[in-house]
Amino acid sequence: MISTVFAQPFEPLGCAACRDKTQLPFDFTMAFQPIMDLHSGRPFAYEALVRGVDGQSADTVLSWVDDAHRYRFDQACRVKAIELASRLGLAALPQCRLSINFLPNAVYRAETCIRATMEAAKEFHFPHDRIMFEVTEGEQVTNGAHLKAIFNEYRRQGLITAIDDFGAGYAGLNMLVQFQPHVLKIDMELIRNIDQDPVRQAIVSGIALVCDRLGIDIVAELKGHDSLDKYNKPLWAAWAGLQYFLFNTGPVTSNVVEGGAFWWADRAEAQPDLQFFMVVGAGIEEGVEAVPGGNGCTINLGQIRPRSRGEVRLNSADPADAPRVIGLRDGALAFDLPAAQVTPAHLHQLYAQHLDELAQTAPPAPDVPVAAAPVPMQCR
């Protein structure tokens, strides 16, 4: 655990809560959960989540907060999140944000209650324009005008704003009419089993259209097992087969490679020459161990136009008939055989490098600055 040293987070500004120097009767720390950008594959933000110093859950810590300590706890969370994130190196990650949940009912005046946050950002050299405040789930907001005033002030200060759990509780369309945040986090209940529910698909499509029109970024919460790794186990494999047999749904309907991208290794090429494949699992390939927890994905890379190319063609309309594999080398036919007849020797002939290829020296590396190494951040 990293202890904090920011002794006096803000100056008294007149209200009773700011003048009250009573310390919290408990201590806490923060865990940092990544929010991934699906386009870049990099963390869009890390969300600071309260934890007990002995590993207690967020619910346990929040149960310790009563009305007498609500304001002090809210301010302490902001300062501690900024300090720990700065020490862990989050500020060094390009364009990565720090997401902090806040308690709107603990904010008396937005322009004064934000002062501790701005001072902490300055003290710990964390860019304040990369701090994102989101309304914490479970906080019942009865005064929409008050929350709107808070968000407007935070936006004026250059901070990022977000509405969490959109579609549940207070965070509905009425809130979106009053205030348009930078980021909208869709409630997990709307995302769960969305691949099998046309109603959820229609609702989320509508939310996505609204956000696109308003220029709002969307974050979708995924909790549970969202990887194919667990279906390596016989029991889960049998369950997946039964689900497909009975309902024509489930992991068997996945084509495994759920996404991809094209890019250049050589920018002089007119077309991309690299292809990325995103596989829904981190241990579904032979010889690759699953990651702890069972969730993850695998990104494979392939050269689009290598010297060795080929095709796989259907041999007939019979699905039990093995396809034909056609291997090409430098534009010439190397073999055209049923798949069962393609031997390791054939593949060696197709993919073996010529002596002149082996003798070539690697091209010099481009003269570009080396990016800072990513800083690992763990969520417990």
Each residue's pLDDT tens digit, 233-246 = 788 889 989 999 99
What is the pLDDT, as a whole number, of residue 46? 92
What is the pLDDT, as a whole number, of residue 361? 47
Residues 186-204: tens digit of each pLDDT:
888 888 888 778 898 898 8
What band does 376 get if pLDDT is binned at 50, 70 and 90?
A: very low
Q: Say what percent of the chain tops pLDDT 70.
A: 75
Q: Phi and psi at residue 367, in whole multiples of 5°?
A: -85, 80
Q: Which CATH architecture has domain 16-220?
A: Alpha-Beta Barrel (3.20)
Please give the residue that has the higher pLDDT: either 312 or 87: 87
Please give the residue that has the higher pLDDT: either 132 or 271: 132
Q: Mean per-residue pLDDT for 12-38?
A: 70
Query: Is residue 374's pLDDT more than 60?
Result: no
Residues 80-135: tens digit of each pLDDT:
999 999 999 998 888 899 999 887 766 767 777 788 888 889 989 999 999 998 87
Q: Mean per-residue pLDDT for 345-352?
A: 73
Query: Is residue 218's pLDDT more than 50?
Result: yes
Write down the domain spans for the chain. Answer: 16-220, 225-305, 307-361
What band does 305 get if pLDDT is binned at 50, 70 and 90?
A: low
Q: Say what percent of the chain tops pLDDT 90.
A: 10
Dihedral angle, C-alpha 175, 176, 179, 183, nearest 10 °: 120
To the question of pTM greater than 0.85 for the whole model, the response is: no
Low-confidence winner among 124-128, 214-218, 276-280 (lowest mean pLDDT): 276-280
Q: Mean per-residue pLDDT for 290-299?
A: 65
Closest CA to 102 of 142, 150, 55, 57: 150
What is the pLDDT, as a whole number, of residue 4? 44
C-alpha dist (Å) from residue 6 to 26, 57, 127, 225: 17, 24, 17, 39
Please give the residue that has the higher pLDDT: either 23 or 185: 185
Low-confidence winner among 70-79, 221-230, 254-263 (lowest mean pLDDT): 221-230
What band does 32 get if pLDDT is binned at 50, 70 and 90?
A: very high
Report the C-alpha gap between 40 and 147 in whole angstroms.
Answer: 32
Query: Tokens 């010297």 sit at which residue?
Result: 307
- Give, rounded to a whole angstrom, the gap between the first and last alpha carbons of the chain: 12
What is the pLDDT, as a whole number, of residue 30? 92
Q: Mean per-residue pLDDT for 54-59?
A: 88
